[in-house]
Amino acid sequence: MTLAADDRCLPEAATTSRPAHVGLVLFALAMGGFAIGTTEFAAMSLLPFFSVGLGIDEPMAGHVISAYALGVVVGAPIIAVLAAKVTRRTLLIGLMVVFAIANLMSALAPTYGWMLAFRFLSGLPHGAYFGVASLVAASLSPPNRRAQSVARVMLGLTIATILGVPAANLMGQALGWRWGFAIVALLALLTVLLVALFAPRDTLQPGASPLRELGALKRRQVWLTLGIGAIGFGGMFAVYTYVASTLMEVTQVQPHIVPLVLCVFGVGLTAGTLFGGWAADRALMPSIGGMLLWSAASLALFPFAAGNIWAVSGVIFLIGCGGGLGTMLQTRLMDVADDAQTLAAALNHSAFNTANALGPWLGGMAIAAGYGWTSTGWVGTALALGGFLIWVVAVLDERLRSSGQAVAA
C-alpha cells in the first residue's frame, strides 16, 4: 500500500494504492460537483417560475434560496464531525444519495413550507461532499499536483454555471419548474453510480473520531483561512447577485443577453479555477494574496464598465476568474488542519456560503441607500480587500509562529 500525496492530506484515512484510472475517479467526483452547482445556481433562475407554482411572491420565494445556503452552512461541520468514523468512499455515496432524495422531494414539494424544508435538506450534503471529494482527489496526486486535482473536482461546479444551469432553466421553462430540480436528482444518482464504480476503497486509521475532527476549531490558521473565504469571496457575490439587474437597468441590454453574459462569468470561473490549482501548487499563500488583489481590482472596474456591454462582459469575465480562490483555500486548509482534515475541508464551503449571504446583503444595502446598481462593485472591492487584510494577518501569524519555534529549538 502506498500513499500518493503527502501525509498532511491523509491523517484520518489510509487509502489504497493509486487507482489505474485516476482521471475516472476525478470525473466521478466532479460529476457530483456538477449536480451541486446546477441546483445551487439554477434555483435562482427558476425562482420566478416556482414562486408562481407555489402561489407566493418572489421576495418570499427568495427564502427558498436562503434555506439551501443555510443547509450548507449547518450541514458541512455537523456531517463532517458525525461521520468521522465513516470511510470517505462510503460517505461520498451516502451524501449523494441524500442529495438525490432531497432534490427529488423539492421537485415534488406541494407547498412553500415543504419547499423550504426540502431545499434546506438539499443543502446539508453540499459542503461535506466537496470537502471529502477534495481530500480524495488530493490523496491520489503527488504533493506538487494536489491543488490541480482539487481544481479538477471544482470544475464540476464551474462548468455547471456554463452548461448545467442554462439546461436546467430551459427544461424548467419548457416542461415546468419541477423538472429543473428533478434533473439534479438524476445527476446525483449518476454520481452515486460513478463513485461506487471508480472511487478507491479506503480504511479508517485508528483514532479517527468526532473529537479529533473538532480539534480543527482550536487552530488559529484554520479560522483565518475560513475568514479569508467568508469575507474575501463576498465581493464576487455582491456583484454577481445583481448583475442581471445592472445589465438591464444600467447597460440597458435586452433580457435575452443576460444569460450570455452569465455564461461569460462561468467561463471566467472555470479559467480561474484551473489557474488557481496550477498557481497553488507552486506558491500557495502568495497565490491567495494575489487572487484577492485581482478580485479587488476587477470589482473596482465594474462601475466604470457597466455602461458598455462589451466592457462589462470583459470585467465580468475577470471577476469570474477570481473564483479560483476557492481551490486555493481548500488546499490551504489541508495544510493547516493537521489531523482534522474532513471538518476543515467541509467548513470551506460553509465560509463560501457565508460569503454568498454577506455579499448580496451588503450590496443590497448600498443599492437601497440610493448609490445605484453599480455601487455593488465598490462593496465587492471593499470585501475583497477585507479578505486581503485577513490574509496579511495569517501570513504574519505564521511567520511569528515559525520564528518562535526556531528560537525554542
281-324 pLDDT tens trace: 898 999 999 999 999 999 999 999 999 999 999 999 999 999 99
Q: How far apart are CA 220 and CA 226, in angstroms?
A: 10
pLDDT (average), residues 387-400: 93
Helices (H), 251-338: 258-280, 284-305, 309-321, 325-336
Domains of the chain: 19-204 (1.20.1250.20), 209-409 (1.20.1250.20)
Q: What is the pLDDT of residue 207?
A: 61
What is the per-residue DSSP string for 371-389? I-TTHHHHHHHHHHHHHHH
Q: In which residue are the cell numbers 445589465 written?
A: 247
- 152, 277 contact by CB (below 8 A): yes
Alpha helix stretches (DSSP H) within 160-257: 165-175, 177-198, 210-214, 220-232, 234-240, 243-246
Computed over every residue of the chain, the mean pLDDT equals 84
Per-residue pLDDT for 267 more than 80? yes
In Å, what is the CA distance from 48 to each residue of 58, 64, 89, 292? 6, 12, 38, 34
Separation of CA 99 from chain center = 16
CA separation for the pair 105, 287 (Å, rounded): 41
Distance CA 198, CA 30 (A): 12
Contacts of residue 215, defined as CB under 8 A and 6 or more positions apart, other chains included, come to 338, 339, 340
Instruction: Say yes or no to pLDDT of 375 above 70.
Output: yes
> In angstroms, how far is CA 343 from the centroid of its own chain?
15
Q: Is the pLDDT of residue 17 over 60?
A: no
At residue 121, does pLDDT exceed 90? yes
